[in-house]
Amino acid sequence: MTFLPPITAYTCVCAVGRGHDALRAALTGMVGGLTRFDDPVGVLDTFVGRVDGLDTVELPADLTDYDCRNNRLAELTLRQDGFEDRVRAARDRYGAARIGVVLGTSTSGIASGEDAFLAWSGEGPLPSDFVFEHSQDLYSLSDYMRRRLHLAGPSYTISAACASSTKTFIDGAQLIAAGLCDAVVVGGVDTLCETSLRGFNALQLLSPVPCRPNDADRQGISIGEAGGFALLERDDCGRGDMPRLIGYGESSDAHHMSSPHPDGLGARLAMTQALEMAGLRAGQIDYVNMHGTGSHLNDRVEDRAIADVLGASVKCSSTKGWMGHTLGAAGAVEAAIVLVALEAQIAPGNLNLERPDPEALCRPLTETVPAGLNHAMTNNFGFGGNNCCLVFSRGGPQ
């Protein structure tokens, strides 16, 4: 087994609430957070996973130039589960220059750009309160977090569609393995915006009901917003009780701009790589968090890929029925779900799954159940054929 960084802190905020406890309660209670989208122009009939309270979140006085919905969600997420304190302690141990920031997003603060163009007269510059560098720019998120946490190590943003924040775990582990960092803040944030909602509607992918991944009657995806962070530290940090990233795999099949390879070649390759790096046999994966968006093609392709690599009997489910597809933040939030599952020894159910697809090979769990989990896998597959897979192991003796 290749030993990779322990996860010494993690947190997330999504439509079901803030932090570990809210996420655990939602998973065990089978209570989701999707609500009907209140479309101001009355065109879209869909559900979204909205995070309440972002309008009242205030950034520190010296960082108000970064004010936008995405960075407000980053700030709110940072305040949960003592995450900021854990990063501060790591900074004291290693020094600011030895801690990196690698975060993922697909749209960053593009909602601020949308607002600016709506307010624009059509002549002259855009409104003065719109600063592209500090809002819509993809690096805005990582730059805000770097400044907010007073860190000075390598810092950049990954935008690889729905695999964005999954890939940050891989890059963070590699920065530590290369000796460039002693710790890395990884994760991602994405927020609701017109571009995502109208764009997925144009692709005819939005579901008119809360998304139903793996259901025979699934009708598409529900867009959500979320933030999730994790702190990876070097192997000698003395936290043997913490969960650990033990394997990862990534591929780029480049089959189509928005559709997965019909035989799931890229997905299978990423899962196989992760399994091999972890030094595990297929039967040792106790649970798989599926990418499972609720679209007909995605769910079918992933089902066959999982059955091919791990076997059709593996415990699995998609958890997007709770908070929707959070795009660039999906990997971070679903990593948090897997970490909660390992800690609580539960296998999450597949919310809104009423009639399993009769053509599916795997049988996703319909309810959250107690389970003895030692190793769990999470998949995220993005537009353009970006495929990432992570394998986590619970902390302590196994």
Active site residues: 162, 291, 325
Distance, in Å, from the CA atom of 181 to the CA atom of 175, rounded to the nearest integer, reads: 6
Residues in a beta bridge with 100 = 184
Distance, in Å, from the CA atom of 246 to the CA atom of 253, rounded to the nearest integer, reads: 24
Tokens of 201: 């509607």
362 in Cβ contact with 353 (< 8 Å): no
Residues in a beta bridge with 288 = 316, 377
Measured from the Cβ of residue 315, the count of other Cβ atoms closer than 10 Å reads 19
Indicate the helix (H) or strand (E) that contains 194.
helix 194-202
200 in Cβ contact with 234 (< 8 Å): no
What are the backbone dihedrals phi and psi of residue 98, each rounded to the nearest 5 degrees, phi first?
Answer: -100, 5
Nearest to 239 by CA among 79, 10, 2: 10
166 in Cβ contact with 387 (< 8 Å): no
